[in-house]
Every structure is written in structure tokens, then in C-alpha cells.
């Protein structure tokens, strides 16, 4: 056991009935601000980038290098759910909605999905397998976690330009001390998730 994800889950499916297996993962369930973003990735078995792992275990420089390789060799789809959708349907359902959108955004139609987590999203219209800690087990899911994180981090860096003071360029909207202090001192922005307790409490106190 190396502790690194491998291609065995995909190979088992490809040996049976599948021709294209997509790994699906989301990023951004924990932040107080910004969308939740998901990616779906179909790897080319003959051109898998080296050094792929759960995005949280890679440096920003390594993630950027892997992303560049993925864009050159893999099929990629990206989906998101907005702050409004998160507040309306809850973060779990919004994460699943982003996953479905990512699959639909793929330039090729996969015939089996490997989805990170212990639950399959509602509305999946093709065979799928939930894989607990999938980004540590499946290279396709690890690839999706890298794509999703890089895409979401870029969104938060852009938002940080319009809403300075919250540290989104470095904390990506997660509830760091800097971010929580800014919420108290500057207030709530349109990009904050009002259904999340720290944001909700500030709004409630303001009333």
C-alpha cells in the first residue's frame, strides 16, 4: 500500500464494460463564501500525468503543473453551484448539483462515473460508483480534485480583487481568523453563504 491513488478501479471497469470512466470530485463545501465547484475528468490510460494525488496533498506549484498536463491529455468538465443555490438547497445538494453539471460539461460522454464520497447525487443518468476517500484511491478522482481546486481558487482570487480585506486570495473563502474578523469589521458581502452559521449569526445580530 503506497498511500497514493492508482488506476485499479478504472481498469476494472474498463475490463468489464466501460469505455470511458470519469472521476468526479468537488471543492468548496467548507468555505463561508464563494461557489462550490466540481470537476469531472476522463483520463487517457496511456497518458496519465505523474505525481497525481489528492489536491490537498500537493503544493500549488505541483497542482498547476499537473493541471497543465491534464488539459493536454484528458477530457475535462467543470460545474459549479452558486451561493444562492447553496443557501436555497443546502451545501450537500449544491455540491451534487455542481457534480452533475461537471459531468454534463464533459466533451465526451462517460459510461461510468467514480464519484468521491459515500453518496451518489440525485438525478444521475448513467452507472456510477461512490468511492469513499476517492481522491486518495482513484487517479481519475484525484485529477478531478486538482481541476476543481485550481478553478475555484482562481474564482476566489478574482473575487478578492473586488472585495479586499477578507483574504480570499489566500484562504479561498474558508473561515480563517482573518476572514472571520473581516466579516465582523467589514460585514457580509453578496458572495457570503447566508445559510452558514457564522454569516447567519452576523446578519441576525445586525438586525
Q: Is 185 helix (H, G, I), strand (E, B) or coil?
A: helix
Interatomic CA distance for residues 34 and 169, integer angstroms: 12
CATH T-level fold of 8-162: Nucleotidyltransferase; domain 5 (3.30.420)
| Alpha-carbon distances, residue 46 vs 74, 144, 183, 196 (angstroms) | 10, 18, 48, 43
Q: Is 199 helix (H, G, I), strand (E, B) or coil?
A: helix
Those residues whose C-beta lies under 8 Å from the C-beta of residue 32, and which sit 6 or more positions away, are: 173, 174, 175, 179, 180, 183, 192, 193, 196, 198, 199
| pLDDT given at position 80 | 98
Is the pLDDT reported for residue 136 higher than 60? yes
| pLDDT given at position 51 | 84
Sheet strands side by side (includes 36-42):
75-81, 36-42, 21-27, 112-116, 128-131
* pLDDT tens, position by position, 45-78: 999 998 888 888 888 899 999 999 999 999 999 9
Please report, for the chain, the start and end positions of each structural domain, with discontinuous segments joined by +.
Answer: 8-162
* pLDDT tens, position by position, 97-126: 999 999 999 999 999 999 999 999 999 999
With CA atoms as reference, report the closest residue to 76 among 27, 20, 18, 133: 20
Q: What is the mean pLDDT of residues 132-145?
A: 96
Q: Length of the chain, please? A: 207
Give 134's DSSP letter. Answer: G
With CA atoms as reference, report the closest residue to 31 among 178, 133, 179: 179
Local confidence band at 207 (pLDDT 50, 70, 90 cut-offs) = low
Give me the percent of the chain exceeding a pLDDT of 70. 98
With contact defined as beta carbons under 8 Å apart, do 113 and 103 qualify? Answer: yes
Is the pLDDT reported for residue 203 higher than 70? yes
Interatomic CA distance for residues 125 and 97, integer angstroms: 13
Local confidence band at 96 (pLDDT 50, 70, 90 cut-offs) = very high
What pairing do the DSSP bridges indicate for beta strands 36-42 and 75-81? antiparallel
The count of other CB atoms within 10 Å of the CB of residue 79 is 24
Q: What is the mean pLDDT of residues 90-94?
A: 97
* pLDDT tens, position by position, 156-189: 999 999 999 999 999 999 999 999 999 999 999 9
Q: Is the pTM of this model over 0.75?
A: yes
Is the pLDDT reported for residue 206 higher than 70? no
| pLDDT given at position 1 | 40
Is the pLDDT reported for residue 23 higher than 70? yes
Measured at the CA of 57, the angle between CA 122 and CA 124, to 5 degrees, comes to: 10
Q: What is the mean pLDDT of residues 128-157?
A: 97
Amino acid at each position: 500500500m503506497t498511500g497514493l491513488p492508482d488506476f485499479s478501479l478504472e481498469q476494472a471497469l474498463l475490463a468489464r464494460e466501460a469505455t470511458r470512466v470519469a472521476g468526479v470530485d468537488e471543492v468548496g463545501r467548507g468555505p463561508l463564501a464563494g461557489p462550490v465547484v466540481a470537476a469531472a475528468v476522463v483520463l487517457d490510460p496511456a497518458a496519465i500525468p505523474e505525481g497525481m494525488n489528492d489536491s490537498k496533498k500537493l503544493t500549488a506549484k505541483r497542482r498547476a503543473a499537473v493541471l497543465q498536463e491534464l488539459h493536454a491529455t484528458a477530457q475535462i468538465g467543470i460545474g459549479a453551484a452558486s451561493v444562492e443555490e447553496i443557501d436555497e438547497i443546502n451545501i450537500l445538494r449544491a455540491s451534487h448539483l455542481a457534480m452533475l453539471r461537471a459531468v454534463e460539461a464533459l466533451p465526451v460522454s462517460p459510461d461510468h462515473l467514480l464519484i468521491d464520497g459515500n453518496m451518489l447525487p440525485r438525478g444521475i443518468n448513467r452507472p456510477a460508483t461512490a468511492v469513499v476517500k476517492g481522491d486518495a484511491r482513484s487517479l481519475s478522482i484525484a485529477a478531478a480534485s486538482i481541476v476543481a481546486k485550481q478553478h475555484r481558487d482562481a474564482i476566489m482570487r478574482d473575487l478578492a480583487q473586488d472585495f479586499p480585506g477578507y483574504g480570499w486570495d489566500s484562504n479561498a473563502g474558508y473561515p480563517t481568523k482573518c476572514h472571520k474578523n473581516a466579516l465582523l469589521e467589514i460585514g457580509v458581502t453578496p458572495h457570503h453563504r447566508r445559510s452558514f452559521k457564522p454569516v447567519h449569526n452576523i446578519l441576525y445580530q445586525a438586525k
